[in-house]
Amino acid sequence: MSEHDHPAQPDQLDAAEEAHLRELSASAVTAEAEGDERAIEAALRPRTLDEVVGQARVREQLGLVLEAARGRGRAPDHVLLSGPPGLGKTTLAMIIAAELSAPLRLTSGPAITHAGDLAAILSGLNEDDVLFVDEIHRMSRPAEEMLYLAMEDFRVDVVIGKGPGATAIPLEIPPFTLVGATTRAGLLPGPLRDRFGFTAHLEFYEPTELELIVRRSAGLLGVRITDDGAAEIAGRSRGTPRIANRLLRRVRDFAQVRADGVVTLDVAHATLDLYEVDVLGLDRLDRAVLDALCRRFGGGPVGAATLAVAVGEERETVEEVAEPFLVRTGFLARTPRGRVATPAAWAHLGLAAPRSEPGGTLFEA
């Protein structure tokens, strides 16, 4: 991507206002939904498979599964949706129910702490319902075991009483379709994973796809946007529709308050600079980590704990919030000896990479 010259901001904000906005934007590019974002998102969700932008393979595969099931007049196989936050798992779960004209029952792994919780949900299902279990990897172990049986045999064993006198009463449940969503498919026990007839892996989106999503969302929000404005937002959205929609809302606010309401390239630039989201979608923490790695530690290798101290953050924050995206963009490598900056990282910071290989065993991983 070529660096644009940054045009003058449509308006200058005073320092206090700017600091306040910065504080609010501490995580403008986190992929997790924040605050009341889920309610806002509901309005922007595609309602049918045809409305879904991108994920061509998943759309085709899922389309076949659903059409075949409709043709047979039977509930389709259970579906597992896996992928990073904000890529459309909940959206697809809702679409599955809508495409089957079936009611959607919603629950989540953390809400099912006892097998009894799950038994109550399952026994309340009607034939052909779609049961959506979000964060399915966080369900309790006994509930998981109950779910295996329910998925396979449409039956659960309800245990009555305790100790040696306890008896298991088998309970039939009507055929239903389980849709599970997980950001951590690796944490699902094999037996559970194996009972899904179809697993959809959601991938990060291409900038051109995100651009379509931004234009679609702008249309739904009644925001006027230029093509280059949409492209600018898309390019900084880390391949994630949730982030694209969030940045669009921030840029829309700026356009409304500081400009004439139209989201143009200039307005997008000015807003995203204000929120410290750079041309590749890196935020302040991401850049602080890269900066410390290159300037202070000569490109590494340096241990995660040391790097965290250098940027004044908890080690977990650096490891779980900043590093995954830096690794994904090819700026940072995790090696057994510690974190290492790649030549691309030096280039992104506008620094010359050291000529020799960074080395030394000064810092432990």
Ligand X SMILES: Nc1ncnc2c1ncn2[C@@H]1O[C@H](COP(=O)(O)OP(=O)(O)OP(=O)(O)O)[C@@H](O)[C@H]1O
Tokens 């099931």 sit on residue: 69
Question: Is residue 154 marked as binding?
Answer: yes
Question: Is residue 195 marked as binding?
Answer: yes
Catalytic residue from among 128, 129, 134, 266? 134
Question: Is residue 45 marked as binding?
Answer: yes
Residue from 251, 241, 250 nearest 214 by CA: 241
72 catalytic residue (yes or no): no
**Least distance (Å) from ligand X to the CB of residue 339?**
26
**Least distance (Å) from ligand X to the CB of residue 42?**
7
Contacts of 357 (CB under 8 A, 6+ apart): none
| Residue choice 69, 87, 146, 178 for contact with ligand X (CB under 6 A) | 87
Give CA–CA dist 288/297, Å, rounded.
13
Q: Does 213 bind ligand X (CB under 6 A)?
A: yes
3-state SS of the chain is CCCCCCCCCCCCCCHHHHHHHHHHCCCCCCCCCCCCHHHHHHCCCCCCHHHCCCCHHHHHHHHHHHHHHHHHCCCCCCEEEECCCCCCHHHHHHHHHHHCCCCEEEEEHHHCCCHHHHHHHHHCCCCCCEEEEECHHHCCHHHHHHHHHHHHHCEEEEEECCHHHCEEEEEECCCCEEEEEECCHHHCCHHHHHCCCEEEECCCCCHHHHHHHHHHHHHHHCCCECHHHHHHHHHCCCCCHHHHHHHHHHHHHHHHHHCCCCECHHHHHHHHHHCCCCCCCCCHHHHHHHHHHHHHCCCCCECHHHHHHHHCCCHHHHHHHHHHHHHHCCCEEEECCEEEECHHHHHHCCCCCCCCCCCCCCCCC
**Least distance (Å) from ligand X to the CB of residue 85?**
4
Residues 49-68, mask of contacts with ligand X (x by CB under 6 A): ---xxxx-------------
CA distances from 47 to 40, 44, 94, 269, 330 (A): 15, 9, 7, 31, 35
Catalytic residue from among 90, 177, 182, 342? 90
89 catalytic residue (yes or no): yes
Q: Does 182 bind Mg ion (CB under 5 A)?
A: no
Nearer to Mg ion, 136 or 150 (CB): 136
Q: Does 90 bind Mg ion (CB under 5 A)?
A: yes
183 catalytic residue (yes or no): yes
Q: Does 91 bind ligand X (CB under 6 A)?
A: yes
361 catalytic residue (yes or no): no
Nearer to ligand X, 200 or 292 (CB): 200
Nearer to ligand X, 40 or 305 (CB): 40
Catalytic residue from among 105, 215, 238, 242? 242
Burial tier of 137 (Cβ tally within 10 Å: 0-12, 13-18, 19+): buried
Nearer to ligand X, 32 or 194 (CB): 32
193 catalytic residue (yes or no): no
| Residue choice 25, 82, 177, 183 for contact with ligand X (CB under 6 A) | 183
Residue 52 contact, options Mg ion, ligand X, none, Cβ 5-8 Å cut-off depending on partner type: ligand X
Q: Does 306 bind Mg ion (CB under 5 A)?
A: no
Residue with CB nearest Mg ion? 90
Q: Does 183 bind Mg ion (CB under 5 A)?
A: no
Decide: 213 and 240 in contact? Cβ < 8 Å.
no
Residues 30-69, mask of contacts with Mg ion (x by CB under 5 A): ----------------------------------------
**Least distance (Å) from ligand X to the CB of residue 263?**
17
Residue 245 contact, options Mg ion, ligand X, none, Cβ 5-8 Å cut-off depending on partner type: ligand X
Q: Does 180 bind ligand X (CB under 6 A)?
A: no
Q: Which residues are annotated as a binding site for DNA?
A: 315, 334, 339
Q: Which residues are annotated as a binding site?
A: 44-45, 86, 89-91, 152-154, 195, 205, 242, 315, 334, 339
Binding site for ligand X (CB under 6 A): 32-33, 41, 44-46, 52-55, 85-91, 183, 213, 241-242, 245
Q: Name the residues annotated as catalytic.
A: 89-90, 134, 183, 242
